[in-house]
Amino acid sequence: MTADLIGRLREVVGPAGVLSDPADLAGYLSDWRNAYTGTAAAVVRPGSTEEVAGVVARCSEAGVVVVPQGGNTGLCGGAVPDSSGRQVVLSLTRMRRIRDLDAANQTVTVEAGAVLRSVQEAAAAAGLLFPLSLGAEGSCTIGGNLATNAGGTGVLRYGTMRDLTLGLEVVLPDGRIWNGLRGLRKDNTGYDLKQVFIGAEGTLGVITAAVLKLFPAVRSRATAWAALPDPQAAVDLIGVLRELAGDRLTGLELMSRRSVEFVLRHSAGARDPFGDPHPWYALVELSDTLPVAGLDAVIESALGEAFERGVVLDAVVASSSAQAAALWGLREGISVAQNHEGPSLKHDVSVPISRIPAFVERTDRALEAAVPGIRIVTYGHIGDGNLHYNLSKPVGGDDDEFRARAGALARVIYDSTCAFDGSISAEHGLGQSKREIVADYKDSHELDLMRGLKQLFDPRGLMNPGKVLPGL
């Protein structure tokens, strides 16, 4: 990139806003998993929407690619540059203001670089709830959550980021600013354009702000850990909980024994709630926005009924918020714990809930046939039909040999996913890691329409190319 463009970018964001010294760039060039590392001509850190627009316009004039980046916790390599050294990483992390919280309208207007946890805290301070919740919430940003249509543990009750958003402000690839920051729950004036940018992973424009929905705060909560014989029991448990707790069911996570074993092995202080090991576990959470005294009794009676029906083998209800946090810690610790067991080949899939048991049985069988001794870590948001199928090498196996099998093993999982009418990416997106393989699993007309949108919004292909769409 010419020094002239660096100079012009500095005119927009100020000298401190343009990093070009390799030592300053390092933290922006590798993804969270260190699976992808690129090089950048510069990292630019604008402080306002107008500065983002100025940066994008100058890069567009110079024909230079822009890679939007938030917290860089994405798991598909979508936020890092390629190895050409000619791309500009546009980091939104300076734009973290909460512009407005309208309690009566139950909305909050935030800038894209706001860290998710800061928005959760601002809502709580106003006696309200922003319900998106995921393991990376201390680092991920609202802009990244929107660009990946993030899911997490609250989807069961509140939906994904797509369902939590009322309005967007976006800088388009030519530098124009689209102000769609409306806080309306009803607005039927043509196409719902915000939904095009949500989940586009930075390939259609840079999200600079959003109007998000807020909800009544949770005033009572009950958390339990249940032992299950198999995934069918988990599906049956959903039925029992829906029957006996209704809308109060706000969290339901499934974990295989191995996923919990890894946490018990690598996470200091982690304790198995039961003496004996069980093949599967469910983390159940009920909550209510009223100060209901007997929620513990509701969860106890529901799990008691599930026990009577042979769905649950054992259960423990958290007797304090500290114990509830410890149970969530067992769940949220899986991703990090697995990294201690060598390469973790991640697959984030969804299938219709009713088909999960047959899907797990077929997929496990096929994986074990492909790599005898493979260690399958299955866990996730079963209430949404979303499982994380993360693979570790056989004990004593070779890291590089296992990594070399990644493509074949992914196909085993994705072939099985699609045999059960599922999706090869439930919540993490496609990024770099799944953009080529998606062509084998997605309707060709759908891909053509997606390419058409890319051509319309970004005809010169300067907005985060090499992500999401095969071949672009």
Binding residues for ligand FAD, rule: CB under 6 A, are 32, 67-75, 78-79, 92, 112, 134-136, 140-141, 143-145, 147-148, 150-152, 201-202, 206-207, 335, 427-428, 431, 464, 467
Minimum distance, C-beta of residue 208 to ligand S2G, in the bound complex (Å):
26
Minimum distance, C-beta of residue 390 to ligand S2G, in the bound complex (Å):
5
Partner from ligand FAD, ligand S2G, none binding residue 71, C-beta < 5-8 Å depending on class:
ligand FAD
Partner from ligand S2G, ligand FAD, none binding residue 388, C-beta < 5-8 Å depending on class:
ligand S2G
Partner from ligand S2G, ligand FAD, none binding residue 72, C-beta < 5-8 Å depending on class:
ligand FAD
Partner from ligand S2G, ligand FAD, none binding residue 101, C-beta < 5-8 Å depending on class:
none
Quick one: 107 or 141, whose CB is closer to ligand FAD?
141
Partner from ligand FAD, ligand S2G, none binding residue 144, C-beta < 5-8 Å depending on class:
ligand FAD
Quick one: 135 or 329, whose CB is closer to ligand FAD?
135
Quick one: 46 or 154, whose CB is closer to ligand S2G?
154
Partner from ligand FAD, ligand S2G, none binding residue 423, C-beta < 5-8 Å depending on class:
none
The CA-based angle 189-194-196, given to 5 degrees, is 110
Sign of CA dihedral 297, 219, 380, 469: positive
Contacting residues toward ligand S2G, per CB under 6 A: 75, 135, 335, 346, 348, 380, 388, 390
Quick one: 134 or 206, whose CB is closer to ligand S2G?
134
Minimum distance, C-beta of residue 422 to ligand FAD, in the bound complex (Å):
16
- Find the residue with minimal CB distance to ligand FAD: 144
Quick one: 17 or 385, whose CB is closer to ligand S2G?
385
Minimum distance, C-beta of residue 137 to ligand S2G, in the bound complex (Å):
11
Minimum distance, C-beta of residue 70 to ligand S2G, in the bound complex (Å):
16
Minimum distance, C-beta of residue 103 to ligand FAD, in the bound complex (Å):
26
Quick one: 107 or 416, whose CB is closer to ligand S2G?
416
- Find the residue with minimal CB distance to ligand S2G: 335
Quick one: 348 or 458, whose CB is closer to ligand S2G?
348
Minimum distance, C-beta of residue 294 to ligand FAD, in the bound complex (Å):
30
Partner from ligand S2G, ligand FAD, none binding residue 47, C-beta < 5-8 Å depending on class:
none
Partner from ligand S2G, ligand FAD, none binding residue 346, C-beta < 5-8 Å depending on class:
ligand S2G
Partner from ligand S2G, ligand FAD, none binding residue 150, C-beta < 5-8 Å depending on class:
ligand FAD
Partner from ligand FAD, ligand S2G, none binding residue 58, C-beta < 5-8 Å depending on class:
none
Quick one: 287 or 335, whose CB is closer to ligand S2G?
335
Q: What's the Cα-to-Cα distance from 344 to each of 280, 288, 338, 411, 436, rounded to whole Å?
A: 20, 37, 7, 16, 20
Torsion of CA 419, 425, 430, 434, to 10 degrees: -40
Tell me if 41 sits within 8 A of 87, measured CB to CB.
yes
Minimum distance, C-beta of residue 247 to ligand FAD, in the bound complex (Å):
22
Q: What is the 3-state secondary structure (H, E, C) of the chain?
A: CCHHHHHHHHHHHCHHHEECCHHHHHHHHECCCCCCECCCCEEECCCCHHHHHHHHHHHHHHCCCEEEECCCCCCCCCCCCCCCCCCEEEECCCCCCEEEEECCCCEEEEECCCEHHHHHHHHHHCCEECCCECCCCCCCEHHHHHHCCCCECCHHHHCCHHHHEEEEEEECCCCCEEEECCCCCCCCCCCCCHHHHCCCCCCCCEEEEEEEECEECCCEEEEEEEEECCHHHHHHHHHHHHHHHHHHEEEEEEEEHHHHHHHHHHCCCCCCCCCCCCCEEEEEEEEECCCCCCHHHHHHHHHHHHHHCCCCCEEEECCCHHHHHHHHHHHHCHHHHHHHHCCCECCEEECCHHHHHHHHHHHHHHHHHHCCCCEEEEEECHHHCEEEEEEECCCCCCHHHHHHCHHHHHHHHHHHHHHCCCECCCCCCCCCCCCCHHHHCCCHHHHHHHHHHHHHHCCCCCECCCCCCCCC
